[in-house]
Amino acid sequence: MADCPVILESANSTAGPNYVLEKYESALLILLGFGGFSVILALIHNAIRKQIFHDEHNLDTTFDAGGDVSTSLTAVTVASQLFWPADILQSATITTKIGIAGPFWYSVSVILNIFIFPIFSVQFKTRAPGAKTYLQIIYARFGKKAHVVFCCFALLTNVVIMTAILLAGKSTIQSLTNDISDEYTLLMMATLFGSYSLIGGIGTTFYVSYFNACLIFVSLIIFFGNVLHNSDSHLDNIGDVSKMFAAVSCVKGPDENTGSSFLTFRSGVGILYGVIGFFVASAVTYCDQASWQSRIAAKPMQGVWGFLLAGAMWLAIPSTMATTTGIAYLAISSENGTHLLTSDQIDQGLVTPFIAEKILGPTGGILILTILSMALMSTGSGEVMAVSSIIVYDIYQTYLRPFRKDLKQSHCILCGKQIQVPEPEIIEDQSKAPSVCDCNSVSDCQQCADDLCRRAMKKVHGVHSPFRCTIHGSFRTYQNYLIEFKNWCIIWVTICIIPYGLFVFSVGIDLNWIFYVGAIVTIPCFPAVILSIVWVKATSKGLIAGGITGLLVGIAAMLIAASTYEGGLNKFLLNTSQDYSILAGTSCSFGFSLITCIVVSAFTHKIKSEADADAEWKKMFEIDNPLHPWELNLRQELKEQVYTKKPSYDQIAAAFRKAKITAYVGGSVCIILVTFIIPGVMATFPVLDEIEFEIWVGLTQAWAILMGLIAIVAPPVEEFLRIRKQYLRNKKQPVEYSLHKL
């Protein structure tokens, strides 16, 4: 550093990436190319659900893809959806500011949440196997007040995430497309999000996420091949690891880095970004219904292994892409000692498209636009489905048009009677005994079988004949109505993206601001969600107090910290997104929410005995759809258990004991590995020399190639085997499975 110090000055121009597409070309690529491709996938998914699984008319299938997604498909979907469009841009931005420590600590913070999540998801799937949203658990346990509060938190989280997606999409599309307006950009993105969601539901998102993951890994290989292994590169400092090292090692990095070098993992500001990134990732992972929706679509064991594999896949993406593009940007900028982009352009996330276009020409710009479009489809459609599921399950079905109003706990939704009388209770006067539900299971209902056969064979004047089953008929009609409502809900949510996006663009916030400040207002939901799943003594008062307290204190802490910077709150967008403003806001939001939830719940709970605890957990366990009970989906795993209509919680726990052990052991090992062992090893190198830099870059490339092979090969193989297994099962038991699924 001392022999060749290069200080990168601010850019004097606003050149940015060159336009590589005209407006009509972007529309053809995004709408007809990716939009059309996704619609074809949606039609294929629908055909599979109809011909093989026979559940295309099931409302729940729209939001859980049948509840039996394979391990590898879960992994690529989790990895793909967590790799936001913002990540494609933001991780490279951090690299240009901090160096290799930026994407490293950023990756550690996010992957830590991925490895923690299996522990909570397996609790979710065993304690509330019938729940489709985490808000249903809050409603079942804590009632309307807490449910309304956290519905607001959930929708706020979706708004924050959608804002980040729209800003990332705008930055890249408009930087690579000539003369394209905000309205035109939003129309393309809204069409992309809503088109296949309406046709195929969340199941198509899994298929699209697979192709998104494939495209990302292929693009990674193309990028680092041209940046690190291209002897014919037209750029002096690009094409060879040694040349890049020589260029970047001479550039002065942040003072907080060891040796003021960009090539060190010992970075105070990098660790700071890691802490902030952990809170941001926590808000996204645990407070976003889209996250839970994709993750509870798998059975417990498949979900656990899917998460662990997803963490390994996700780690390969930002660490490789950000290091490659960010270091390439620094190497090119070092030639004239000036940043090639302005600070505003860097904060907008234009480093990645700029480097792609600089190295690969127009092809690079098209490649980035392709990656972004696929990522937009995965994450954007996931948010559309998340908002729609909240509206359908937690607003419309719960408050606006419930099937049975004022339904009490432990009462049957079909007949309104108590499901069972407590065993210890002995009632001498039988005239005073409560009416007990005697509704038979849909799988044993002959009237339902007759209904379904009649509707499959005959139509009256072009309209399906009405359901005649005296037990399930009315609820089937209600569910069909909800399916129609779901379609309109998806359409209107998609349409609302356009006016909302115009509002966001007019406000002037950038991607960096919403990415970090948004976490402050959403993370207070995190402790409440987790405690509602794992702590029996959590109460409505505790969760509400914790969520609101965390929100208010977090915002106040952010504003106080921002006021200490030059210009104070007069420079609101700049100073509220400063490092210590975000750290103060996120840590206070999370800390005060957690402490308040625990303390208030400890003083207000009514759990006095084991029986009280069992009764509390049972509230979650009883969440179910009587037409498509969760027991049918888990019947294969429960075949060794003996029960009548529904297994007990103890039987579920016994059946999935291995899944829990895998989650605890596997999650703990991975957490220790990425939190302590790997960072500890990296911290032993003050500043990387050329050999160490080559080893690090080589390891990231090798890991990306390995994970890419798994991501490309495993999902289609597993999906084919799963479909084949169901097909053979249908041939053996066609009547039973048709009845179960329909």
> Given a cut of 60, is residue 671 above it in pLDDT?
yes
Helices (H) and strands (E) in the chain, counts: 29, 2
Q: Which two tokens stand for residue 736?
A: 């039973």
Determine the residue type at 367.
L
Which has more pLDDT, 202 or 535? 535
Whether residues 599 and 700 share a domain: the answer is no
Is 430 a domain residue?
no
Q: What is the pLDDT of residue 365?
A: 78
Q: What is the pLDDT of residue 13?
A: 58
What single-letter DSSP state applies at residue 260? G
Sign of CA dihedral 284, 288, 294, 295: positive
Q: How far apart are CA 134 and CA 124, in angstroms?
A: 9
Domain final position from 589, 605, 621: 605
Domain final position from 605, 620, 645: 605
Angle of CA points 372, 378, 381, to nearest 5°:
115
> Given a cut of 70, is residue 301 above it in pLDDT?
yes
Whether residues 63 and 133 share a domain: the answer is yes
Mean pLDDT computed over 526-541: 93
Q: What is the pLDDT of residue 156?
A: 92
Q: How far apart are CA 427 and CA 420, in angstroms?
A: 13
Q: What is the pLDDT of residue 424?
A: 43
Q: What is the pLDDT of residue 587?
A: 93
Residue 694's domain comprises 23-400+472-509+656-741
Model confidence at 740, pLDDT cuts 50, 70, 90, reads very low
Model confidence at 2, pLDDT cuts 50, 70, 90, reads very low
- Cα separations (Å) of 556 from 153, 521, 551, 591? 18, 11, 9, 14
Top-ranked range on mean pLDDT: pick from 108-112, 252-256, 704-708: 704-708
Is 617 a domain residue?
no
> Given a cut of 90, is residue 584 above it in pLDDT?
yes
Model confidence at 414, pLDDT cuts 50, 70, 90, reads confident
Mean pLDDT computed over 641-645: 77
Whether residues 252 and 391 share a domain: the answer is yes
Cα atoms in the 13 Å half-sphere on the side-chain side of 670: 27
Which has more pLDDT, 292 or 158? 158
Is 615 a domain residue?
no
Model confidence at 425, pLDDT cuts 50, 70, 90, reads very low
Which of 714, 684, 710 minimizes the C-alpha distance to 696? 684
Mean pLDDT computed over 669-677: 89
Q: Could you tell me what percent of the chain has a pLDDT over 90?
A: 19
pLDDT (tens digit per residue) in 435-454: 788 888 887 788 887 877 77
Q: What is the mean pLDDT of the chain?
A: 82
Q: Count of domains in the chain?
A: 2
Model confidence at 734, pLDDT cuts 50, 70, 90, reads low
Close Cβ partners of 527 (under 8 Å, ≥ 6 residues apart): 546, 550, 590, 593, 594, 597
Q: How far apart are CA 612 and CA 418, in angstroms?
A: 18
Tokens 């210009």 sit at which residue? 567
Which has more pLDDT, 529 or 1? 529
- Cα separations (Å) of 185 from 24, 191, 373, 501? 11, 10, 12, 10
Mean pLDDT computed over 532-538: 93
Whether residues 593 and 711 share a domain: the answer is no
Q: What is the pLDDT of residue 737?
A: 42
Whether residues 581 and 493 share a domain: the answer is no
Top-ranked range on mean pLDDT: pick from 59-63, 224-228, 520-524: 520-524
Helix (H, G, I), strand (E, B) or coil at 6: strand
> Given a cut of 60, is residue 738 above it in pLDDT?
no
> Given a cut of 80, is residue 242 above it in pLDDT?
yes
Mean pLDDT computed over 671-699: 89
Q: Could you tell me what percent of the chain has a pLDDT over 70?
A: 89
Mean pLDDT computed over 577-593: 92
Is 641 a domain residue?
no
Q: What is the pLDDT of residue 4?
A: 56
Q: What is the pLDDT of residue 5?
A: 64
Whether residues 485 and 596 share a domain: the answer is no
**Least confidently predicted of 343-352, 468-477, 714-723:** 343-352
Q: What is the pLDDT of residue 15?
A: 60
> Given a cut of 60, is residue 73 above it in pLDDT?
yes
Whether residues 488 and 596 share a domain: the answer is no
Q: What is the pLDDT of residue 275?
A: 86
Which has more pLDDT, 220 or 396? 396
> Given a cut of 90, is residue 405 above it in pLDDT?
no
Whether residues 693 and 585 share a domain: the answer is no
Domain final position from 562, 588, 605: 605
Q: What is the pLDDT of residue 55?
A: 63
Q: What are φ and ψ of residue 437, in 5° steps?
A: -65, 135
- Cα separations (Å) of 328 from 235, 260, 421, 445, 665? 10, 18, 69, 66, 39
Is 422 a domain residue?
no
pLDDT (tens digit per residue) in 163-194: 988 888 887 788 778 888 888 888 888 887 87
Q: Which two tokens stand for residue 704?
A: 């990306």
Mean pLDDT computed over 76-89: 72
Q: How far apart are CA 154 and CA 152, in angstroms?
A: 5
Q: What is the pLDDT of residue 578?
A: 87
Whether residues 365 and 224 share a domain: the answer is yes
Whether residues 675 and 546 share a domain: the answer is no
Is 225 a domain residue?
yes
Q: How far apart are CA 723 and CA 725, in angstroms?
A: 5
Is 180 a domain residue?
yes
> Given a cut of 50, is residue 735 above it in pLDDT?
no
Is 77 a domain residue?
yes
Q: Are 712 and 214 in contact (CB under 8 A)?
A: yes
- Cα separations (Å) of 145 from 62, 149, 158, 539, 543? 28, 6, 20, 11, 10
Q: How far apart are CA 688 and CA 682, in angstroms?
A: 10
Top-ranked range on mean pLDDT: pick from 201-205, 497-501, 638-642: 497-501
DSSP-assigned beta bridge partners for residue 257: 267
Top-ranked range on mean pLDDT: pick from 185-199, 327-341, 602-616: 602-616
Whether residues 167 and 290 share a domain: the answer is yes
Q: What is the pLDDT of residue 86?
A: 57
Mean pLDDT computed over 625-642: 81
What single-letter DSSP state applies at residue 12? S
CATH code (residue 668): 1.20.1730
Whether residues 63 and 183 share a domain: the answer is yes
Q: How far apart are CA 198 and CA 218, in angstroms?
A: 29
